[in-house]
C-alpha cells in the first residue's frame, strides 16, 4: 500500500523530518523531528516541530509513532515535546543501549542515567514488524553511521536515516564513536537490494551549490548514480573513500548538545537545584 509522505526540511542542520500516514483522518508516524536549538544562547524552540503538529491537526491524523532513525549528532530531537502535543510512542533501535553506554562515558553521566533504553517507549529489534494504521511497516537494522541505526519501511516508502544521501552527495559519515564504514556499506547494500521502484526518503540533504534541497529518490536511481554507493563501488573502495573523507570533516556544530538530549529520547537533562537544565562540554576528548 502506498504511504502518504509529507516532508519538512529544516535548513539550519539540513535535516528532513516526515509525517507518514495512511489517509486523511487516519493514522500517522512522525520520523526524525527537530527541536530547534540556538547554540549562542542555549535556547530551544519548537518552531520546526510546530509545523509537524499543524500538519497532523490539519489532516486529522492520530499519531501512533514518533520514530528516531538513530541518536542524531547534528540536531536535537523534538520527540519528547511532540509526544506531549500529539501523543505516539517514541521509538528507536534496541542497540541505542550501546550508544547510551558510549556517551554515558563521554559525558560522565552518573548512575541516575539509565543505559537500558528505558527513556524510549519502544525499542525496535532488527526486522521487527509494526503498523501505521493500514500500512504495514518494518524496522530495518542499518548500522555503520552509529551502532544503532534503523531504517523504517512504511508501506512502499523507506526512511533510510543516515546511510545513503542523495546520489550527488553520497553517504553518511562513519567516524562517530561506534561508527564503521564497512558496516555502513553492507547496510546500504541491503537497502539497495529492495525493489528498484522503492521510494527512498533521506534524513538529510546538503545540496551542492546550484541545486535546491531534495530528499526523495529510488533504489534504481541510487544504484545507478550514487557517487559513493553505486553498483560499481566495492566495499574496499567505499571504505577507503569514506575514511579519507571522514578524516577531513569537522565535528557537527551541535554534536555535544544533540547527543546529550537525544540519548534521553529528546528530554533535556534533569534540572539543577536552581531549576535550570545544563549541558556538559567535555574538554579535549572528542
8 A C-beta contact, residue 29 and residue 182: no
Smallest gap from residue 145 Cβ to Fe ion (A): 6
Q: Give 23 or 186: the residue with its C-beta nearer to Fe ion.
A: 186
Minimum CB–partner distance for residue 162 and Fe ion (Å) = 4
Nearer to Fe ion, 163 or 222 (CB): 163
Rounded CA-CA distance 78/66 in Å is 9
Reading the block at residue 56, the C-alpha cell is 497532523
Least separation, in Å, of the C-beta of 73 and Fe ion? Answer: 5
Q: Which residue lies nearer to Fe ion by CB, 82 or 172?
A: 172
Q: Which is nearer to Fe ion, 142 or 154 (CB)?
A: 142
SS3 43: strand
**Quick check: 162 binds Fe ion (CB under 5 A)?**
yes
Query: Taking CB under 5 A as the rule, does residue 94 contact Fe ion?
Result: no
In angstroms, the CA 51 to CA 246 distance is 33
Grid coordinates of 284: 579535549
Site string for Fe ion, 202-221 (x = CB under 5 A): --------------------
Residues 60-79 that bind Fe ion (CB under 5 A): 72
Which residue lies nearest Fe ion, judged by its C-beta?
162
SS3 192: coil
DSSP 8-state assignment for residue 273:
T
CB 29 within 8 A of CB 133: no
Contact residues toward Fe ion (CB under 5 A) are 72, 162
Amino acid at each position: 500500500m502506498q504511504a502518504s509522505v509529507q516532508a519538512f526540511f529544516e535548513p539550519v542542520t539540513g535535516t528532513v523530518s516526515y509525517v507518514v500516514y495512511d489517509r486523511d483522518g487516519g493514522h500517522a508516524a512522525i520520523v526524525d523531528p527537530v527541536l530547534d536549538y540556538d547554540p549562542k544562547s542555549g535556547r530551544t524552540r519548537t518552531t520546526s516541530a510546530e509545523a509537524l503538529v499543524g500538519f497532523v491537526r490539519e489532516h486529522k491524523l492520530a499519531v501512533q509513532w514518533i520514530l528516531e532513525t538513530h541518536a542524531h549528532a547534528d540536531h536535537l530531537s523534538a520527540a519528547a515535546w511532540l509526544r506531549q502535543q500529539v501523543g505516539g510512542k517514541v521509538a528507536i533501535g534496541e542497540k541505542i543501549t550501546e550508544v547510551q553506554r558510549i556517551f554515558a562515558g563521554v559525558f560522565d553521566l552518573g548512575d541516575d542515567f539509565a543505559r537500558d533504553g528505558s527513556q524510549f517507549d519502544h525499542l525496535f529489534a532488527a526486522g521487527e514488524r509494526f503498523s501505521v494504521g493500514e500500512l504495514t511497516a518494518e524496522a530495518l537494522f542499518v548500522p555503520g553511521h552509529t551502532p544503532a541505526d534503523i531504517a523504517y519501511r512504511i508501506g512502499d516508502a523507506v526512511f533510510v536515516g543516515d546511510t545513503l544521501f542523495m546520489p550527488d552527495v553520497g553517504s553518511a559519515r562513519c567516524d562517530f564513536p561506534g561508527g564503521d564504514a564497512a558496516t555502513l556499506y553492507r547496510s546500504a547494500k541491503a537497502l539497495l537490494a529492495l525493489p528498484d521502484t522503492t521510494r527512498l526518503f533521506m534524513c538529510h540533504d546538503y545540496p551542492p551549490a546550484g541545486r535546491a534541497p531534495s530528499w526523495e529518490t529510488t533504489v534504481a536511481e541510487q544504484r545507478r548514480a550514487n557517487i559513493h554507493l553505486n553498483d560499481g563501488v566495492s566495499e574496499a573502495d567505499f571504505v577507503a573513500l569514506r575514511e579519507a573523507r571522514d578524516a577531513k570533516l569537522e565535528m557537527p556544530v551541535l554534536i555535544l548538545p544533540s547527543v546529550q538530549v537525544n540519548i534521553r529520547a529528546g528530554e533535556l537533562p534533569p534540572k539543577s537545584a536552581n531549576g535550570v537544565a545544563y549541558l556538559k562540554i567535555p574538554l579535549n576528548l572528542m
